[in-house]
């Protein structure tokens, strides 16, 4: 077992139980159960269309499940009053894939925005807080720049500074490494670890970047076709990734291993290849002699 960090407690701060969600006839989440412990970095991974983003949107209360429940800090979104919902939302921050900065505001003003909107803090205190947040992500000297003047990695870090503006207890990251070069991506990984450990927050990271996942995760959750295939420690997933063919007991293990290794051949590929191509072409699925 990987050694658990001392900040991690058994208390679940995010609880998804039996969460099912369909869009039209397509079931995107199918009975998902996932509990995230206080202080841990939980990496949610899976291929495109596996339901990762939909899952994240349920965790932040942006989507309502068709059935099942989603609780944050023990409160079910379904039964929260508007006031409770607003209070809950101030307890988490989100790093969006794009950084989601407001282009007409400087980086410093972007970070100050949640502080000005939600709190009656003195302007001098807000200015100092903005400098502290930007220092956290290494952007203090860029406070007066506009988002368009920043590189992709800097935008991501600025988005992170804004996400932590209100000292959230949970941080959600949506594909934090997407579109970044390997060095910048590694820097973001270290930032995620440092913020989680030093600020005692809980982090949920949605990604399909395996290098990043294996660097930052305390535990990992693998989604496939809207279902949780496996939840386990980073060590359990490392063992699965490194396992030889003879050591794997099930088709599911082979599928997870293919995903973790990023291999071109395996059950995921077989599934795509056998998905009714002949039917689509209105052919009888037998070989021509």
Partner 1 sequence: MSEADKTGVVKNIRNEQNAVVLELRGDIDMSRSSELREQILDVLQQKPAALVINMTDVAFMDSSGLATLVEAMQLSQRHGSSLRLTGLATRVRSVFEISRLDTIFEIYESESEALS
Q: How many residues bind partner 1 (CB under 8 A)?
A: 21
Nearest distance from residue 172's CB to partner 1, in Å?
19
Residue 125 or 283 having the CB closest to partner 1: 125
Cβ atoms of 189 and 213 within 8 Å: the answer is: no
- Indicate whether 255 belongs to the interface with partner 1 (CB under 8 A): no
Report the distance separating Cα 266 and Cα 47, nearest Å: 14
Nearest distance from residue 19's CB to partner 1, in Å?
31
Q: Among 188, 165, 171, 164, which residue's Cα sits nearest to residue 14?
A: 171
- Indicate whether 154 belongs to the interface with partner 1 (CB under 8 A): no
Report the distance separating Cα 146 and Cα 263, nearest Å: 41
Report the distance separating Cα 124 and Cα 6, nearest Å: 35
Report the distance separating Cα 9 and Cα 245, nearest Å: 35
- Indicate whether 121 belongs to the interface with partner 1 (CB under 8 A): yes
Q: Which two tokens stand for residue 283?
A: 């052919």
- Indicate whether 105 belongs to the interface with partner 1 (CB under 8 A): no
**Pair type for strands 41-45 and 202-207:** parallel
- Indicate whether 143 belongs to the interface with partner 1 (CB under 8 A): no
Find the binder of partner 1 among 5, 116, 200, 261 (CB under 8 A): 200
Residue 175 or 218 having the CB closest to partner 1: 218
Residue 37 or 52 having the CB closest to partner 1: 37
- Indicate whether 125 belongs to the interface with partner 1 (CB under 8 A): yes
Q: Among 24, 86, 55, 7, which residue's Cα sits nearest to residue 225?
A: 55
- Indicate whether 194 belongs to the interface with partner 1 (CB under 8 A): yes
Considering only CA atoms, give the Rg of the chain: 21
Residue 16 or 136 having the CB closest to partner 1: 136
Find the binder of partner 1 among 132, 178, 210, 248 (CB under 8 A): 132
Residue 198 or 271 having the CB closest to partner 1: 198
Find the binder of partner 1 among 25, 26, 81, 124 (CB under 8 A): 124
- Indicate whether 167 belongs to the interface with partner 1 (CB under 8 A): yes
Find the binder of partner 1 among 16, 95, 136, 213 (CB under 8 A): 136
Report the distance separating Cα 233 and Cα 206, nearest Å: 16
Report the distance separating Cα 286 and Cα 278, nearest Å: 9
Residue 195 or 240 having the CB closest to partner 1: 195
Find the binder of partner 1 among 87, 135, 181, 251 (CB under 8 A): 135
- Indicate whether 280 belongs to the interface with partner 1 (CB under 8 A): no
Report the distance separating Cα 236 and Cα 219, nearest Å: 9
- Indicate whether 141 belongs to the interface with partner 1 (CB under 8 A): no
- Indicate whether 195 belongs to the interface with partner 1 (CB under 8 A): yes
DSSP code per residue over 146-157: -GGGS-HHHHHH
How far is CA 88 from each of CA 37, 55, 77, 93, 168, rounded to the nearest angstrom? 17, 18, 9, 10, 10
Q: Among 232, 194, 196, which residue's Cα sits nearest to residue 214?
A: 232
Q: Which spans of this chain sit near partner 1 (rule: CB under 8 A)?
A: 119-122, 124-126, 128-129, 132-133, 135-136, 166-167, 194-195, 197-200
């Amino acid at each position: 077992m990987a050694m658990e960090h001392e900040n991690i407690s058994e208390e679940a701060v995010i609880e998804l139980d039996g969460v099912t969600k369909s869009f039209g006839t397509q079931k995107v989440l199918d009975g998902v159960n996932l509990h995230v412990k206080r202080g841990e970095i939980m990496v949610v991974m899976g291929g495109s269309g596996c339901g990762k983003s939909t899952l994240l949107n349920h965790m932040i209360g942006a989507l309502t499940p068709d059935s099942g429940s989603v609780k944050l800090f023990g409160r079910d979104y379904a039964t929260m009053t508007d006031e409770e919902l607003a209070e809950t939302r101030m307890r988490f921050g989100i790093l969006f894939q794009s950084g989601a900065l407001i282009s007409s505001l400087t980086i410093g003003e972007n970070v100050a925005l949640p502080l000005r909107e939600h709190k009656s803090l003195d302007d001098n205190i807000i200015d100092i807080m903005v400098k502290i947040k930007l220092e956290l992500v290494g952007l203090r000297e860029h406070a007066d720049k506009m988002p368009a003047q920043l590189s992709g990695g800097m935008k991501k870090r600025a988005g992170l500074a804004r996400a932590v503006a209100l000292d959230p207890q949970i941080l959600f990251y949506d594909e934090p490494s997407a579109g970044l070069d390997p060095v910048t991506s590694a820097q973001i990984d270290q930032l995620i670890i440092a913020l989680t450990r030093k600020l005692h927050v809980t982090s949920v990271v949605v990604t399909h970047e395996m290098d990043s996942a294996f660097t930052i995760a305390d535990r990992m959750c693998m989604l496939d076709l809207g279902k949780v295939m496996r939840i386990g420690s980073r060590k359990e997933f490392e063992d699965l990734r490194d396992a030889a063919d003879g050591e794997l007991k099930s088709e599911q293990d082979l599928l997870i291993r293919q995903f973790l290794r990023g291999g071109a051949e395996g059950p995921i590929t077989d599934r795509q290849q056998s998905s009714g191509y002949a039917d689509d072409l209105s052919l009888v699925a037998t070989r021509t002699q």
